[in-house]
Amino acid sequence: MKKIIFLSIALGIFTLFQFSDILVPAVAEPPPAVETPLPEKAFVYVTGAVKKPGLYALETGKTAGDAVNAAGGMLAYADTAAVNLAEKAADGTHIHVPFDFNGIPAPPAEAGKVSLNQADEKQLTSLPGIGPAMAANIIAYRQEHGSFGSIEELQKVKGIGPAKFAKLKDQVSL
């Protein structure tokens, strides 16, 4: 008798598993969600004579002009002809707007001192310890970063350390 009950239960369980697809209603899976792709971005680095230099994410296909506008626009003393604003700004582009100080009146130089912001290579090489290469470094720094804000900023120029600065600080002005 126990065998018959056991076989009946086993047969019932076997039958239940065989026909479970029929007994359990089929639940339709929702269709997969279709995500709209995000717009492609181009990361552009803008430096120089702009209001807010930095890294900007622009939609692909934007121009250098769009990148400069994202950086707040050009400053009044930017060299506007040096950058093709219609050129496409590809991902990884570095857009540098150089400074142009032509036409801006120079502040009066202190008597007998060389102006860091206005001196040409010949005037800079007249300073002690400044040769043509160092003068070129000073001019390049000025073109990339704009006018010197203080005489101490001269130490940021490659090759001018504390000892050389100590010899120059009394002979230069802004």
pLDDT digits (tens, 9 = 90+) for 135-170: 888 888 888 887 777 888 888 888 888 888 888 878
| Encoded tokens for 135 | 């003068």
Residue 6 covered by a domain: no
C-alpha to C-alpha distance for 78 and 120, rounded to whole angstroms = 19
Residue 136 covered by a domain: yes
- Are 92 and 137 part of one and the same domain? no
Residue 23 covered by a domain: no
Contact indicator for 126, 119 with CB cutoff of 8 Å: no
Residue 4 covered by a domain: no
Could you identify the residue written with the tokens 């073109």? 143
- Are 121 and 165 part of one and the same domain? yes
The parent domain of residue 142 ranges over 114-173
- Are 84 and 129 part of one and the same domain? no
Residue 73 covered by a domain: yes
Per-residue pLDDT at 32 exceeds 60: yes
Residue 56 covered by a domain: yes
| Count of domains for the chain | 2
Non-local CB neighbours of 169 within 8 Å, separated by 6+ positions? 151, 152, 154
Higher pLDDT: 125 or 21? It is 125
Residue 102 covered by a domain: no
Contact indicator for 142, 116 with CB cutoff of 8 Å: yes
Per-residue pLDDT at 20 exceeds 80: no
The highest-confidence range among 35-44, 83-92, 147-156, by mean pLDDT, is 83-92
Residue 13 covered by a domain: no
H or E segment at 8?
Answer: helix 2-18
Look at residues 57, 44, 97, 104 and name the one whose alpha carbon lies nearest to residue 75: 97
- Are 83 and 120 part of one and the same domain? no
**Model-level pTM?**
0.43
DSSP code of residue 94: E
144: CATH: 1.10.150.320
pLDDT digits (tens, 9 = 90+) for 4-17: 776 677 666 766 56
H or E segment at 45?
Answer: strand 41-48
- Are 119 and 144 part of one and the same domain? yes
Per-residue pLDDT at 126 exceeds 80: yes
Higher pLDDT: 133 or 108? It is 133
